[in-house]
Structures are given as structure tokens and as C-alpha cells.
């Protein structure tokens, strides 16, 4: 592991920025950005429905968060974002349990490394279906819910700087994330008519202990070398920006993709 040029800053305490609001966070089981976002939202006073395709990890995450924040503020439902019926069930669950919806975080995505010349149709399609089409399905469901209930909701999508910057072996992932950015901008224009905002974050390098273990030291060194701080972002640092985009502090922002990055220009 590389030695960071700067240490990780102190964890920022909650300020009740999402008090009384109900949020859905996809791919929220585990220690990644989704899990960090669910926790940050709870610390900011929200009720949170976490979702993931991994049922065991989802149950463990639900139990841990419920013990810390209260079972009345945390619920979970497994959802594969490539399955429209499961997406519909997730949003119906939110209405049934919490009576409505205020925030949707589309965090589900799938990466992988493959040279384009050797990439199979299955590899391409799988990444696009989870990362881009899944974001489309959940955004569509969210906008329908906001439109039909009259709530001035917020959608926050998880894109990536790789949607702007080329990287070998990442054609499928880069195409999917660039698509998420374009989807964000178009959805924002349509949703503005009924007071709904749609924005996205674009992290550069966010890691957590489990991901570090399966990343080679050589690759991690190469990636962190590109970061001005000489370290990767903690998932909660990305989640902080999602809190901002979900809160009233970003009330005049829509259709924006916010880079969460310390990469050199």
C-alpha cells in the first residue's frame, strides 16, 4: 500500500440536514460508498431504506444500522436493478413502510477490466445493464413517485470521473458512467417541471478495506499517484457530497455532475 501524502481528515459529524426525510440507497450493503451513504443519511436524520442484490450482506447491514439508529428508521429489501419487477417492489415497499419518498441514491454499479478487443458481448452488456440501465430504471421509478405524490424529491446518481477520462480496460464501465452523466442531465430537465432535482457525483478513487485487499499493490500505487493528496478517498468522503446534493443546501442545483476527486488536472 502506498504511503499517503496527507492523512484522512476527521469524520464529519451529522448536522440533521435530512431531518424527517425518507431515502432509498441502492447497493448499500457492505463497506462501500452505498453503505457509507446510508450511514451518513441516518446521521443526518433521515429514514433509510437500503437495498442490494446480496441478500446476506444486506440483512447484516440492516441489523447493524437498526441497532445503532433504531429499527423504525432502517429497513431493507433485496433488489436486482436489472429486474424491473424488483425495482417496482422496492419503491412500493418504501411507500408501504414510510408513506412516501424524498431521496433516491442510485449507487448500484458493476466494474471490471477487459481489453475492448477481447471483451465479450456478455461482459459489455452486464456492466451496462447494472450500471446504466439500473440507474435508468430506478430514476424512472423515482420520478414517477415524485410526480404522482407531488413531493419535491431529489435523485443523486453515482457516476465516475472515468466517464470523462479514458482508462485502458474500462471501455464498458466508462461508457456506462458517461451514460449516467448524460441521463442525469436529461432527467433533470424533465423533472424540473415538478420541482424535482437530479444530480450526480463522480468519484475518482474511493476505496475501503475489503477492496484494498483484492487490489494489487502495483495498481493501487499507480492510481493513488494520480491523486493530488496521494491517497484514495474514504467512502464517507463521497457520501458527504451526496448528503449535500440531497439537502436543501443544493436547492438551486440540478443536472450537475460533481467531481469528488483530487486528481491532477
What positions carry a catalytic annotation?
173
Q: Which helix (H) or strand (E) holds 75?
A: strand 74-76
Q: Which helix (H) or strand (E) holds 198?
A: strand 197-203
18 HSE (CA, 13 A, CB side): 32
Q: 94-129: b or e for each residue (b if 16 or more CB lie within 10 Å)?
A: beeebeebbbbbbbbbbeeebeeeebeeebbeebbb
**What is the secondary structure of 200-231 as a DSSP string?**
EEEES-B--HHHHHTS-HHHHHHHHHTBTTSS
Q: What is the CA radius of gyration of the chain?
A: 18
Helix count (H) and strand count (E) of the chain?
9, 7
Q: Are strands 103-106 and 22-25 parallel, antiparallel or unpaired?
A: parallel
List, in order, residues 6 or more apart from 109 with CB less than 8 Å away: 27, 130, 131, 134, 135, 158, 173, 176, 177
The residue to which cell 429497513 is assigned: 75
Do the Cβ atoms of 94 and 23 come closer than 8 Å? Answer: no
Amino acid at each position: 500500500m502506498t504511503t499517503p501524502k496527507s492523512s484522512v481528515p476527521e469524520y464529519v459529524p451529522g448536522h440533521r440536514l435530512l431531518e424527517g426525510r425518507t431515502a432509498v440507497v441502492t447497493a448499500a450493503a457492505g463497506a462501500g460508498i452505498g453503505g457509507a451513504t446510508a450511514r451518513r443519511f441516518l446521521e443526518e436524520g433521515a429514514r433509510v431504506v437500503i437495498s442490494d442484490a446480496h441478500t446476506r450482506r444486506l440483512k447484516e447491514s440492516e441489523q447493524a444500522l437498526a441497532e445503532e439508529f433504531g429499527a423504525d428508521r432502517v429497513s431493507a429489501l433485496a433488489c436486482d436493478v436489472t429486474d424491473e419487477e424488483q425495482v417496482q417492489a422496492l419503491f412500493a415497499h418504501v411507500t408501504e413502510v414510510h408513506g412516501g419518498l424524498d431521496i433516491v441514491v442510485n449507487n448500484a454499479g458493476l466494474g471490471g477490466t477487459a481489453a475492448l478487443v477481447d471483451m465479450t458481448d456478455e461482459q459489455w452488456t452486464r456492466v451496462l445493464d447494472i450500471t446504466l440501465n439500473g440507474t435508468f430504471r430506478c430514476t424512472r421509478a423515482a420520478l414517477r413517485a415524485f410526480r404522482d405524490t407531488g413531493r419535491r424529491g431529489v435523485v443523486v446518481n453515482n457516476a465516475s470521473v472515468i466517464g470523462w477520462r479514458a482508462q485502458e480496460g474500462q471501455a464498458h464501465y466508462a461508457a456506462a458512467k458517461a451514460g449516467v452523466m448524460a441521463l442525469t442531465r436529461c432527467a433533470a430537465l424533465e423533472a424540473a417541471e415538478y420541482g424535482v432535482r437530479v444530480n450526480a457525483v463522480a468519484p475518482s478513487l474511493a476505496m475501503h478495506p475489503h477492496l484494498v485487499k483484492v487490489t494489487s499493490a502495483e495498481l493501487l500505487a499507480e492510481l493513488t499517484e494520480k491523486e493530488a493528496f496521494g491517497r484514495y478517498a474514504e467512502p464517507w468522503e463521497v457520501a458527504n457530497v451526496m448528503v449535500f446534493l440531497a439537502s436543501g443546501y443544493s436547492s438551486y442545483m440540478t443536472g450537475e455532475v460533481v467531481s469528488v476527486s483530487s486528481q491532477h488536472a
